[in-house]
A and B are shown apart, each in its own frame.
Chain A
């Protein structure tokens, strides 16, 4: 069974701190990995994609991928109250997206 697991939340961080989100996946053949942000009552919004081992930075967001360990992470630097949302890790299996349960992040002002 193909699964995507995320670290359980909720995660509460003070404004300006780093929020660290983790994700593991079971299908070693997966090649595409994504992080989505979902505000309450809204649909997911793509914030990062990563396909190769290593780090990928985009503004305050850094995604890290380690295919050997089947591990994907997302760092949010200088967290802002507007970053408060649920973050979904998604992995492509057979051209379909499988989602983790999500980690809810709350940034305290």
Chain B
């Protein structure tokens, strides 16, 4: 299947600092990428849809000023967690769909964020 690479795989940061997570499509172009958050023992919750060359679309209840998304190229989307707090500690996962109208999503490896 298609390869989506996410970096870093884990990060520990101090409360109040910002963390950037990268999501790359390695062998295909992705005009749209998706960012999810998963808390322990829970399912994936969509945070936002990242659109190349335009603003991201955030799901209800997700603070766009706290979770900054940039999709500057067809192969790269970044999620920056600003002023992180312990409650932001979670597993963040990105995904991308292969093909223009395909709805099959391939996921990055995920990033385990721990805010101390």
Contacts and interface: CB of A to CB of B under 8 A. Distances in A.
Interface of A: 32, 34, 41-46, 49, 88, 90, 92, 95-102
Contacts of B32: 95
Contact of A102 (B43, B49, B109): B43
13 contacts: A45-B107, A46-B1, A46-B105, A49-B104, A90-B105, A92-B103, A97-B46, A97-B95, A97-B103, A98-B46, A99-B43, A99-B44, A100-B43
Contacts of A95: 32, 103
B49 A43 contact: no
B46 A44 contact: no
A2 to B, nearest CB: 11
A96 B49 contact: yes
A98 B95 CA distance: 13
Interface of B: 1, 6, 32, 34, 42-46, 49, 93, 95, 103-110, 112
A97 B94 CA distance: 12
A82 to B, nearest CB: 18
A101 B42 contact: yes
A95 B96 CA distance: 12
Contacts of B6: 43
B106 A46 contact: yes
Given A92-B103, A97-B34, A43 B109 contact: yes
A43 B103 contact: no
B77 to A, nearest CB: 15
Nearest to B4: A43
Interface core residue of B6, B104, B105 (most chain A CB under 10 Å): B105
A32 B106 contact: no
A34 to B, nearest CB: 7
